[in-house]
A = this chain, B = another copy of it.
């Protein structure tokens, strides 16, 4: 799939076929995640890949009502920030670096025929804490977002997203 087509036709997919994701496909998603820029190339993230059904259900419990798609997802990637690696003068860049990695996963998934939905974790403290507890994370590793993945039940079409009043030319 062409890059622009992938960007323009990506939609959040919450219903999946009962079909596994091949290891080579998951590897491409993780390579995509690690291909984005990060602040001073700190690469201040880590990824937890989950296929286990019981664990996916526990991740859904930990991540609030919008995380229900995890219960039928083939897999999930939890993107985490790694505060030990983040840029010391402005550590909060980890939030941006994690988002870049997660968006690369979402786009690569779509290009490979997978559906995904981005499930927000940070900055909702109760979700961050529940995921950290579930995985027994060290303090320096902060749950950022969960990407639920699976082959989509149906095709999705591009929609019109352009809003000209959001664009300011040369000045505000």
Q: Interface residues, chain A, CB within 8 Å of chain B?
A: 1-8, 10, 12, 28, 30-32, 34-37, 39, 43, 45-52, 55, 89-90, 92-93, 95-96, 98-100, 103-104, 106-108, 110-112, 117-118, 120, 122-124, 135-138, 141, 145, 161-163, 166-172
| Contact partners of A28 in chain B: CB under 8 A | 4
Instruction: Select A31's contact among B43, B124, B162, B168, beta carbons within 8 Å.
Output: B162
Instruction: Select A6's contact among B3, B48, B52, B122, beta carbons within 8 Å.
Output: B3
- Complexed CA–CA distance, A117 and B122 (Å): 26
Number of copies: 2
Of listed A28, A107, A108, A163, residue having the most chain B CB within 10 A: A107
